[in-house]
A and B are shown apart, each in its own frame.
Chain A
């Protein structure tokens, strides 16, 4: 393990140059991130609807409303369900595939490209293809099921299966990205470690759990962090695959709820309140994750 480089003292001129270089990015971040962020907190306390001229301060009424709205609580559950299934599945699958692709297997380049292909596809286009795959009567997925003698599933149109269908699609769509990151991580681990362990008599399992995984931990940490952030802001595939939030709102996630309140019902106040809750949830989760991560991360 190597200690992080201690901070070097820079002189005033160097610091100034740094700030000047950062200025454009900071300005953008301030205008498009910081100000809206503060504004959302304020708007969540008003009854503003963007259209009418009146903007009244109404205290915590929007929060009271969304927490008494069964759809909002359902959207929290749906979001947690999505994240809870997708993040672990994504992690395990992409790590396994990355390990396989790291070996010298036949047509490795072809496999690498094909796993990465869905990532570069435009989201809406990919979603439309999968709507066809999921077609309840004529979709290829059901035809495969029938080949194996299984009864067809209504996928996106069945409250029990809709969320699972969206998760399956999202896994396929995003897997390649994590695979590439894991591959880079795996290739950065020098072979000398595993060779030395092998000479000492370690088997494959021991090498994986005692050497590879600990040395990959910063990457795992990154993948989980990005997984949390991306899962909580999932929207496009939900809104294209299930334009009304799915059968009985079974795919209505938090961002979708926010969208509906703001742009279908013109309730900016309520949408802002829901956005604040989402913000706090992501903040708390990434905080916990960071704390947990610190304990277990090993740097080379």
Chain B
């Protein structure tokens, strides 16, 4: 009797383990509605096949996800994969280029279907170690009502730096005459991101990706810093209240705001004023630094890795990419996604999205490197020094370069 029982149990266990799908854990740093869209993808994937079961985990916003990843590395409990910020730092910097093997061996994938800037955003020391996923670019939002009251044509947003300066100056207004304008022409929350856009528009490479040589202390860098100072000096942009730029824009007291294209969806039709969305104005050239999160793969057993890539492959197919863009407003990462009918119709319907999506042809990115966060901190500080007149534009750019070089050197 005992023997029979034992056999039954063994058979049961064996059949269970055979039928059991490979379970993988997948994090996503997408909150709110965007997170739900991604969760729906996971549910759909789980329902259309039986071999793989993806356990989706919302890992918090970008900063929280970074912290959780660091903790997971220390505790050796990384997920199988995820949509995470600064992905290459968590993969390439740890010698994990596994995803590249999968990409190269994927005969159905044409890597040129992604924009080159996208791949640059997924590189560490020149090698791809992630797949671009929820990508956004800075776009220019503007308040058409304020344009009108300043005597500007609301259908003609500024297209060059000069126009940006003159338009913003025209919008700035000191209504009670106390010397502190109540309405400002131009501002941005994330000044390092916008300043990097200006640098690139002035043909300054920001940093040489292959040698990590900072390029702030070049003629192109100085000119950009001088333009920043001009915006301050001519009262086109306020000093030191960047943190509340977005709030002020939504409150109707800021004419032009530059920020992530991922706001389009939630702002459109919900502002008290007539909202305009446009390309960033061009300097010498058009250029847009891309930002956002990427898909990464952390190595476990071959079976789990295969399963993880299977899911990644499915979720980055053009149909899903298009669907994700329509539902979230993130930039479609693949050219073929733009040709999918639903997305074409969508861009027709909401031309503001077309602006953001098409802008990608001017997108650029440097490769991920370890001191990226340090660099952004330094840019913030350098700009503050310029705005408060503690350093001249040239001096501030030299300072950023020097500090950054020292930090990169110290980490080599």
- Enumerate chain A interface residues (CB-CB to B < 8 A): 49-53, 65, 131, 135-138, 151-152, 154, 156-159, 242-244, 247-249, 260, 263-266
Contacts and interface: CB of A to CB of B under 8 A. Distances in A.
B243 A243 contact: yes
B152 interface: no
Interface string B380-409: 110010001010000000000000000000
> 5 nearest interchain CB pairs?
A50-B70, A264-B373, A157-B241, A265-B374, A157-B240
A235 to B, nearest CB: 14
A51 B89 contact: yes
B260 interface: no
B243 to A, nearest CB: 6
A51 B93 contact: yes
Given A50-B70, A51-B73, A263-B66, A137 B380 contact: no
Contact of B371 (A131, A243, A265): A265
Contacts of A53: 94-95
8 contacts: A53-B94, A135-B244, A137-B253, A154-B240, A244-B377, A247-B240, A265-B374, A266-B70
Contacts of A138: 182, 251, 253
Nearest to B70: A50
B67 A263 contact: yes
Contacts of A264: 373-374, 377
Interface in B59-100: 63, 66-67, 70, 73-74, 89-90, 93-95
Interface of B: 63, 66-67, 70, 73-74, 89-90, 93-95, 178, 180, 182, 240-241, 243-244, 251, 253, 370-371, 373-374, 377, 380-381, 384, 388, 390, 410
A248 B388 contact: yes
Contacts of A136: 180, 241
A49 B73 CA distance: 11
B180 A137 contact: yes
Contacts of B70: 50-51, 263, 266
Contacts of B180: 136-137, 152
Given A51-B93, A266-B370, A154 B244 contact: no
A265 B89 contact: no
Contacts of B178: 151-152
A52 B371 CA distance: 13
A134 to B, nearest CB: 10
A265 B73 CA distance: 16
A131 B410 CA distance: 38
B247 to A, nearest CB: 8
A60 to B, nearest CB: 15
A231 to B, nearest CB: 24
A182 B384 CA distance: 44
A131 B388 contact: no
Given A244-B380, A248-B388, A263-B63, A51 B240 contact: no
B377 A154 contact: no
A159 B387 CA distance: 13
Nearest to B189: A243
A231 B95 CA distance: 42
A228 B374 CA distance: 31
Contacts of A263: 63, 66-67, 70
Contacts of B243: 156-157, 242-244
Given A51-B90, A52-B93, A53-B95, A265 B244 contact: no
Given A51-B93, A51-B94, A52-B93, A260 B377 contact: yes
B253 A52 contact: no
Contact of B182 (A51, A137, A265): A137
A50 B74 contact: yes
Contact of B241 (A51, A154, A249): A154
